[in-house]
Amino acid sequence: MDSTLAPAYQALPSLVFVRAEIPARHPTAAILGEERMGSGVATAPDVVVTAHYLVLGASRIQLQGADGHKRTVRHVAVDHESGLAVLSLEGAPLRAAAFADGSARPGMPVFMLTCTGERDFKGATGHVTQVGPFEAFWEYMLDRAIMTTMLNPGLAGGPLFDARARVAGIVSLGLAAVARFSLAIPIALFEERRERLERGEDPAPGERRAWLGFYPQASDDGIAVTGVVPGGPAESAGLKRGDLLVSVDGQAVLGLRQLYEAIWASGPGDVIGMQVLRDEAIQVVQVLAGDRYEFFR
């Protein structure tokens, strides 16, 4: 990597390689695969934080630190709202990384460390280009996602560091856009949920969002349904690929953020009326909202 080496060497002992095995029957296996590899960062001697989709539904997780020692994963907690997962470990203690003070800001120099294998570590340097809203087509939204200029040279789930080797975020996605090459989830979202996640608990039932199990894509023509999760609430209700969303419970939706805010005003078990344009006619599809924590368990 082309950064000053001292911060990278300081941060490396907190980096881990993660390999997860997912049963073929799990709802995510068809899309994300039955074997997933990624990176993570130690936030305590026996706690690692990574991107949640790497370990979602895993029946077995192998974890190895930069020191070459393997650790046993005792418990996994996922947070669908932030997109983070917390792994509680047994084995030799890891060196916990420090957290950055305050929020990331445009122009801030940053570097990332990641893995491409159990003993293969890579890094990259750059700076933050934007901190702001981000919406994705799998019913996921952040208010303050961190966009950077770096191309991820390895696997997702690794830490984004500031210039003093303090964790600012968890690298989640690669973005094919000018000056937005990678996206990181702010570490502040982990800090807000830390106590619950380290206890291995899901959000309380009253705190969970409605989940429909569909893939909406926004364009100049509106919001189109590009697919549904097999066995999910949207498929069960009859929502179809190609449907053009008009409104949610009578509220017009013009973009993904507005759509998700309308859906998340309800909770699991609520009926949500989706008005769609299908075959040149408006139809109402009544969707019984599901619980993502139960569905993907």
pLDDT in tens, 74-97: 999 999 999 999 999 999 999 999
Distance CA 250, CA 77 (A): 36
Give the pLDDT score at 78.
Answer: 97
Q: 5-90 with 205-295: one CATH topology? A: no
Work out the pLDDT band at 178, boundaries 50, 70, 90.
very low
Mean pLDDT, range 232-237, rounded to an integer: 98
Q: Which fold has domain 98-189?
A: Thrombin, subunit H (2.40.10)
Quote the strand ranges of the chain, DSSP E.
15-21, 35-44, 47-51, 60-65, 70-79, 84-90, 98-99, 109-117, 120-136, 140-148, 159-162, 166-174, 182-186, 214-219, 222-228, 244-248, 251-252, 271-278, 281-288
Q: Is the pLDDT of residue 165 over 80?
A: yes
Give this prediction's pTM.
Answer: 0.93
Mean pLDDT, range 225-254, rounded to an integer: 96
Q: Is the pLDDT of residue 180 over 80?
A: no
Mean pLDDT, range 37-56, rounded to an integer: 97
Name the residue ranges covered by the structural domains of the chain.
5-90, 98-189, 205-295
Mean pLDDT, range 103-108, rounded to an integer: 93
Give the pLDDT score at 2.
Answer: 45
Give the pLDDT score at 5.
Answer: 61
Give the pLDDT score at 1.
Answer: 43
Mean pLDDT, range 142-156, rounded to an integer: 92
Give the pLDDT score at 174.
Answer: 63
**Average pLDDT of the residues of the chain:** 93
CATH number for the domain running over 205-295: 2.30.42.10
Tally helices (H) and strands (E) across the chain: 6, 19
Distance CA 95, CA 206 (A): 36
Q: Is the pLDDT of residue 173 over 90?
A: no
Give the pLDDT score at 176.
Answer: 52
Q: Which residue has the higher pLDDT, 10 or 259?
A: 259
The answer to whether 249 and 262 have CB atoms below 8 angstroms apart is yes
Percent of the chain with pLDDT over 90: 85
Q: Which residues contact 259 (CB under 8 A, 6 or more apart)?
A: 216, 218, 223, 245, 248, 253
Q: Is the pLDDT of residue 160 over 90?
A: yes
Give the pLDDT score at 291.
Answer: 98
Q: Is the pLDDT of residue 265 over 90?
A: yes
Q: Which fold has domain 5-90?
A: Thrombin, subunit H (2.40.10)
CB neighbour class for 246 (10 Å; exposed up to 12, middle 13-18, buried from 19): middle
Percent of the chain with pLDDT over 70: 96
Give the pLDDT score at 79.
Answer: 97
Give the pLDDT score at 4.
Answer: 54
Mean pLDDT, range 174-195, rounded to an integer: 81
Using the 8-state DSSP alphabet, how is residue 211 labeled? B
Mean pLDDT, range 281-291, rounded to an integer: 97
The answer to whether 211 and 139 have CB atoms below 8 angstroms apart is yes
What are the structure tokens assigned to 152, written together?
């991820």
